[in-house]
Amino acid sequence: MAETKQKDFKIDVEEMAQAGVHFGHKTSNIHPKMEPYLFGARSGIHIIDLDKTKEKLEEALKFISDIVSDGKTLLLVGTKVQIKDLVKKTAEECTLPYVSERWLGGTFTNFSSISKRIEHYKELERRKKEGELEKYTKKEKAKLDKELERLTVKFEGIRNLSGTPEAIFVCDMRKDQLALSEAKAKGVKIIALADTNVDPAQADYVIPANDDALSSVAYILGKVKEVVLKNKK
């Protein structure tokens, strides 16, 4: 595997603070396993220790750089309304598979079935592109167009996924709990943001960070993007 020095990641604690990475949830809403990652509290809000975030982010980025340079697959997952466009944009810029809408049950645990649906989607897309749908009535075409639109939302991000990926990057462990469960069931490594209200032990590589603020998620995904583009073959 490629060796990547941690100092190459250029993670700045002050920049993270400006992005609001350190803001957690109310002190009454904490998962006890997140306590080691806390700096303290301010106005009833837990504050994440950004030195710990930097340390954990470096570990995660090192792992990402290794799998990407080995030609293995990383899948980005982020379906929360305020971040899903960012997740999709980052994935497309890095040519990574992604899920930015609802996680489809069976994406990992029943991939053969999902794969058949993807092939159906791609075939319908091809038929439309090559004008094969023109022979249908207006009503039939409208129905097929609606189906294609629905399939695009579901499968566009994973259309080139040929099997279970090496790892997933989950932006919100509470929102995408099903993705975590399926990854664990199939032995897929989990890299994930952990806000103060989640169990960090669910991830193989945990990054203590605010998972609600767009600026916070954007900072983390920006670092992921840098590493992927630098190491992608």
Residue ending a domain, choose from 95, 124, 156: 156
Q: Looking at residue 135, what is its pLDDT?
A: 87
pLDDT in tens, the chain (233 residues): 444 444 479 999 999 999 999 999 999 999 999 999 999 999 999 999 999 999 999 999 999 999 999 999 999 999 999 999 999 999 999 999 999 999 999 999 999 999 999 999 999 999 999 998 888 898 999 999 999 999 999 999 999 999 999 999 999 999 999 999 999 999 999 999 999 999 999 999 999 999 999 999 999 999 999 999 999 86
Residues 6+ apart with CB under 8 A from 64: 74, 167, 169, 191, 224, 227, 228, 231
- In sequence order, what E strands does 13-143 have? 23-26, 38-42, 45-48, 74-77, 98-99
Query: What tokens appear for 78 in the block?
Result: 């982020």
End residue of a domain, out of 128, 156, 184: 156
Please report which helix (H) or strand (E) contains residue 87, including its range. helix 84-94
Q: Which of the listed residues 156, 187, 220 is the one where a domain comes to its end? A: 156
Amino acid 154: pLDDT: 95
Kindly state whether residue 4 falls inside one of the protein's structural domains. Answer: no
Q: What is each CA distance from 8 to 11, 73, 189, in whole angstroms? A: 9, 22, 23
CATH code at position 200: 3.40.50.10490
Q: Which is it for the CA torsion 172, 79, 162, 111, positive or negative?
A: positive
pLDDT at 96: 97
pLDDT for the residue 124:
94
Confidence at residue 4, expressed as pLDDT on a 0 to 100 scale: 41
pLDDT digits (tens, 9 = 90+) for 96-136: 999 999 999 999 999 999 999 999 999 999 999 999 888 88
Look up the domain containing 192 and give its range: 20-108+164-231
Length of the chain: 233
| Tokens 């023109």 sit on residue | 134
Structural contact between residues 21 and 48, judged by C-beta atoms closer than 8 angstroms: yes
- Please check whether residues 116 and 95 belong to one and the same domain: no
Give the number of domains in the chain.
2
